[in-house]
Amino acid sequence: MDRYVTVGEMRALEVNADYFGVSFGDLMENAGKAVADAIVARYPPCRARVVCGKGNNGGDGFVVARLLALKGYTVSVMLLGRSAEVKKGPASENLYKLRFTHIDAMEIEDAAMIPADIFQTCDLIVDAILGTGSRGPPRGLERRAIDLINGSRAAKVSVAVPSGLYCYTGVCSGCVLPYLVVTFHAPKKGLEMYNYIAADIGIPGKASLYVGPGDLMNIRTRGDCAHKGECGRVLVVGGGPYTGAPALVAMAALRAGAGWVTVAAPQRAADIVATFSPDLITVPLVDRHKIVMADIDRVAPLIKKHDVVVIGNGAGQDMESLAAISEIIKLCEKVVIDADALRPDMPLHGIITPHPGEFSRISGFEAANSDLRQAVMKFSADHGVVTVLKSKTNIISDGERVRLNGTGNPGMAVGGTGDVLAGITGAFYCRNGAFEAAASAAFAGGAAGDMAYEDKSYWLTATDMIRQIPYVLKKYRLR
């Protein structure tokens, strides 16, 4: 079996396809056509009953019914529920289109309303009841329909997955037992038990190569937290000669969903950071002006109380500071390394967020003479890190996978925007994998910059970006 796509990955691909120009309606039409074509290739015109749920899987079924009718099949549609309950958008629109082929959808609202012999007079049953997003074994109306479908002698074709298959685990409990499954784009977990084909429905390559809102939808932040500790705790270690950088990291992390953000900085920087916002917790370090070796013992207990450490922003190039940062990084399990901490002698791990000059410094690759995508992948693989290269088109790689991000604009070529990205990355990393967090943060940071650009044009600042982060996350319905 080819590598399957998870439910979350498939949802992200569909949302990204819509974002990059192939609409949900186009995908549904293509999906229905793929199923209809598979049926026409295997079964001559006959009596076909299409059983549809109220969601997008049912919407695919409505398309199948319409296209089969146009091919000479005698088609009837059974809708499990009321037409008013069908999901708004392409699914309800395709239900409406059935009227033009003179197919009426018989609405069944209760399990007792389904006659025991309803499938005895058809030659083919199309199962479009439950799709990849269904959870748990079917119950009630769906359970009754599935039992009757399995008891029929008619040929059975399932749309996307057999209804009842739990694609999160691949477990089938009370599923439709089809002769054929026509799934879309790539196999889903559990389909190895069935005869299936994976049909191309027009998802563009850009939807999987470029990060989009679909990736952001899969990121977990504040939406399902009971209290602030569950939303992620970010520790920012930085500051010294520069005080604004750690403050920008911290404020961006809060806006991106972290429930608790602490800034550990030299005394002067900590005092200034505290004035930026009452939402920030500051911990003054030993020295007034720079990070020193004595800070290691003070920072170590803080690391244990936080999920992610973001380090390096505003720390400067003092040799003792860099030595202390190197030792602090060794104590971190999940870390985002940025700015002054990006040096070839650092114990790099976790996520690193270099701009091209910093990447050249730590890798030896010259941007002008190298294939940057391959260079980022190789460096990430060699060092066991996730790299976010902050170039015109961001490149994100964990050494095996690579994604590109096209959000952002020239107005973001201003101090502090990289610190904002580090803060968003830290917040996302608290409750998500490193690669997923880094890729989605690049998209969200660039989108926030694009929103700020609409208002401020080339005169935007890093704080303008931070103000837009909640609107980006709200726009793309982040959980």
Centre a 10 Å sphere on the Cβ of residue 278 and count the other Cβ atoms it contains: 7
What integer pLDDT is reported at residue 133 of this predicted model?
86
User: What pTM value is reported for the model?
Assistant: 0.94
For residues 380 and 189, give the distance between their C-alpha atoms in angstroms, rounded to a whole number.
29
Per residue in 345-358, pLDDT (tens digit) is 999 999 999 999 99
For residues 119 and 155, give the distance between their C-alpha atoms in angstroms, rounded to a whole number.
11
Which part of the chain has CATH 3.40.1190.20? 213-475
Q: Give the CATH superfamily of 7-209.
A: YjeF N-terminal domain (3.40.50.10260)
**Which residues is 394 bridged to in the sheet?**
405
Mean pLDDT within 447-453:
98
For residues 421 and 425, give the distance between their C-alpha atoms in angstroms, rounded to a whole number.
6
> Which residue blocks in 205-285 are alpha helix, DSSP H?
205-209, 213-217, 244-255, 267-276
What is the four-CA torsion angle of 224, 230, 234, 235, rounded to 10 degrees?
A: 170
Show Cβ contacts of residue 101 under 8 Å, excluding neighbours closer than 6 positions: 65, 66, 69, 70, 75
Q: Whose CA is closest to 81, among 118, 52, 61?
A: 52
Confidence of residue 1 (pLDDT cuts 50, 70, 90): very low
For residues 7 and 135, give the distance between their C-alpha atoms in angstroms, rounded to a whole number.
11
Which part of the chain has CATH 3.40.50.10260? 7-209
Per residue in 357-380, pLDDT (tens digit) is 999 999 998 766 678 999 999 999
Q: What single-letter DSSP state applies at residue 311?
A: E
For residues 476 and 123, give the distance between their C-alpha atoms in angstroms, rounded to a whole number.
44
Per residue in 222-264, pLDDT (tens digit) is 766 667 778 899 999 999 999 999 999 999 999 999 999 999 9
CATH of 213-475 given 3.40.50.720, 3.40.1190.20, 3.40.50.1000, 2.60.40.1290: 3.40.1190.20
